[in-house]
């Protein structure tokens, strides 16, 4: 059994939905959990400290260990305070699950600058504000695990969600760099693209009762996402720099691949007409590689050109 005894884990957005389930399962496996939740609405309005407190009560009633945090991730001070809660209360920090988020649906042409910034401030800025102070602590202790909750909406697209998709895709880039820089310090970082029945899905499907009759909501019950997140947060996990989808009991790696492409001769100056003439090779997806960094892509091209 994957054990979290003597491990300290921060879970943001842990008051309801998937975040609550992550916190409960981690505590059941022995973790001391910082249950962070501002207690706002799905759209990001308001605050209710009881939301996090109730999850803490649930954990302690079952014999677990937890402390509530009511700070928002959307400011540097909030991120620092959440991480400080873990260290001050439990003396260390082993894993951070960056799950806090908001959600609303707006057509692209109707998204205001405020809508855009608000979404990025919570998801993407919040991921940074939370992970940077955590990273510094993990680097000193020589160990840490980051799990960023991204979304298939960001990787593959979702109508009416340009602001949400951009923020969630940005977390993939953040996680990639933390994984690269953190490797020397024993820090692993990965993302999860969850699909589970929650307030977010309720806002998307329109008529939950009609959908429930098809068995869809039972198939995407949120408990089916939890195993992937818990595994990636554990010491047993040595994976890093990866993305994983968790949907209806199917767990799969999600990756961005790079096709072999068409390579112009070293002394040529290719034109747009050359791109058109070689478009089939430019657009081909087979064979492909999955570069571990931007350098691997550049060095691969240099190797084909005979440049050391």
On whether residue 219 sits in a domain, the answer given is: yes
Q: Residue 91 falls within a domain, yes or no?
A: yes
Q: What sections of the chain are H helices per DSSP? A: 17-28, 50-61, 76-90, 113-120, 126-141, 152-155, 162-182, 199-205, 208-213, 216-219, 226-232, 272-277, 279-283, 294-305
Same domain, 250 and 101: yes
Whether 83 and 189 share a structural domain: yes
The two beta strands, 8-12 and 32-36, are parallel
Q: What is the extent of the structural domain holding 270?
A: 258-305
- Residue 216: per-residue pLDDT: 80
Answer with the residue of higher pLDDT: 213 or 286: 286
Residues 288 and 221 grouped into a single domain = no
pLDDT tens digits, 80-131: 999 999 999 999 999 999 999 999 999 999 999 999 999 999 999 999 999 9
The DSSP secondary-structure symbol of 224 reads: G
Residue 3 included in any domain: no
Intra-chain end-to-end CA distance of the chain, in Å: 48
* Buried/exposed code over 185-223 (b: 16+ C-beta within 10 A; e: otherwise): eebbbbbbbbbbbbebbeebeeeeeebeeeeebeebebe
Q: Are residues 63 and 111 in the same domain?
A: yes
- If one compares 210 and 85, the residue with the highest pLDDT of the two is 85
**Residue 56 phi/psi, 5° resolution?**
-60, -45
Cis peptide before 272 (omega within 30 of 0): no
User: What total number of domains does the chain contain?
Assistant: 2
268 and 121 within one domain: no
Same domain, yes or no: 32 and 54: yes
Decide if 42 contacts 104 (C-beta within 8 A).
Answer: yes
The verdict on residue 50 lying in a domain is yes
Catalytic residues: 164
Residue 48 is predicted with a pLDDT of: 92
- Both 182 and 195 in a single domain? yes
| Residue 223: inside a domain | yes
| In a shared domain, residues 247 and 265 | no
* pLDDT, tens digit (0-9, with 9 covering 90-100), for 43-77: 889 989 999 999 999 999 999 999 999 999 999 99
Sign of torsion over alpha carbons 52, 55, 57, 63: negative
Q: Do 170 and 230 lie in a common domain?
A: yes
Please choose, from the candidates 125, 117, 76, the residue with its C-alpha nearest in 3D space to the C-alpha of residue 98: 125
User: Which pair of structure tokens corresponds to residue 214?
Assistant: 């098809």
Q: For residue range 118-173, list pLDDT tens digits in order.
A: 999 999 999 999 999 999 999 999 999 999 999 999 999 999 999 999 999 999 99
Q: Are residues 84 and 206 in the same domain?
A: yes
What is the pLDDT at residue 266? 87
Residue 62 lies in a domain: yes
The CATH number of the domain holding residue 93 is: 3.40.50.720
């Amino acid at each position: 059994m994957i054990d979290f005894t003597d491990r300290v884990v921060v879970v943001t957005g842990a008051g309801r939905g998937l975040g609550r389930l992550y916190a409960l399962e981690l505590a059941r496996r022995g973790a001391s959990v910082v249950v962070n939740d501002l207690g706002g609405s799905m759209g990001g309005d308001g605050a209710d400290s009881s939301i996090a407190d109730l999850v803490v009560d649930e954990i302690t009633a079952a014999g677990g260990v937890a402390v509530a945090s009511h700070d928002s991730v959307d400011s540097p001070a909030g991120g620092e305070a959440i991480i400080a809660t873990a260290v001050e209360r439990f003396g260390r920090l082993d894993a951070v699950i960056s799950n806090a988020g908001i959600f609303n649906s707006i057509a692209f042409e109707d998204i205001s600058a405020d809508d855009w910034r608000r979404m990025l401030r919570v998801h993407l800025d919040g991921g940074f504000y939370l992970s940077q102070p955590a990273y510094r602590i993990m680097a000193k202790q020589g160990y840490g695990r980051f799990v960023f909750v991204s979304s298939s909406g960001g990787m593959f697209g979702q109508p009416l969600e340009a602001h949400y998709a951009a923020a969630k895709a940005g977390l993939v880039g953040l996680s990639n760099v933390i994984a690269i820089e953190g490797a020397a310090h024993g820090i692993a970082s990965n993302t999860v693209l969850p699909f589970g029945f929650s307030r977010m899905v309720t806002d998307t499907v329109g008529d939950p009762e009609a959908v429930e009759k098809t068995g869809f909501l039972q198939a995407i019950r949120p408990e089916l996402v939890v195993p992937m997140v818990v595994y990636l947060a554990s010491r047993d996990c040595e994976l890093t720099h990866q993305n994983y989808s968790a949907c209806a009991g199917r767990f799969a790696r999600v990756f961005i691949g790079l096709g072999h492409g068409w390579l112009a001769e070293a002394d040529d100056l290719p034109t747009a007409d050359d791109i058109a003439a070689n478009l089939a090779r430019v657009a081909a997806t087979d064979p492909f590689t999955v570069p571990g960094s931007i350098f691997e892509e550049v060095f691969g091209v240099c190797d084909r050109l005979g440049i050391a």
